[in-house]
Amino acid sequence: MPTLNLVTEVTIDDLLLVVSQFCQAEFFQFELGLVKLKQARLDTEAAQITTAHRLPLTKQARLTTEGHS
């Protein structure tokens, strides 16, 4: 299938209409792409949460040494 790059605004319903017209192989390829996109978003969110809740180095070291007492 040829690729066409367009800058436009489409609704979710428009996208669903297009996806509903995919053959099995195209739909499978679309699903794989969607799974990869979802995983990338989850990885980004997890990294942001980890960074936001990271303890200062002094507390990290203290927790590490206290755990081995």
What is the per-residue pLDDT for 61?
Answer: 65
Structural tokens at position 7: 């800058």
What is the per-residue pLDDT for 24?
Answer: 97
Cα 15 to Cα 26: distance, rounded to the nearest angstrom? 14
Structural tokens at position 53: 């809740």
The per-residue pLDDT string of the chain (69 residues; one tens digit each, 9 = 90 and over) reads 678 787 888 899 999 999 999 999 999 999 999 999 999 999 898 888 888 887 777 776 665 555 555
Boundaries of every domain in the chain: 12-66
What is the per-residue pLDDT for 58?
Answer: 73
